[in-house]
Amino acid sequence: EYMRRMGITNTQYIVCRHTDREHQHLHIVANRVDNDGNTISDSNDNVRNVKVCKTLTREYGLHFSKGKMNVKRDRLRGKDKVKYQ
């Protein structure tokens, strides 16, 4: 459902779930060239990701975790690091 709403369809992808840390999470690696040879746009994928995650969270009756103070800021990189500065 997430991949479809992100517009990442008709392509190869792999999902890897991590349970070896305090917080469970997953990584998705997708081929941006679909099975027909067309490029899948990654334009505004961060904005689209937030919208899709919020929508799916509500639809499935989930909740966003709290505890921003528990974030290990020294391990953050790039855009994530900027959010906490």
pLDDT of residue 17: 93
pLDDT of residue 81: 74
Structure tokens that stand for 58 in this block:
């509500």
**Total domains, the chain:** 1
Structure tokens that stand for 13 in this block:
């992808």
Q: What is the largest CA-CA distance in the chain?
A: 45
pLDDT of residue 38: 98
pLDDT of residue 85: 61
Which residues form the domain of 26?
2-83
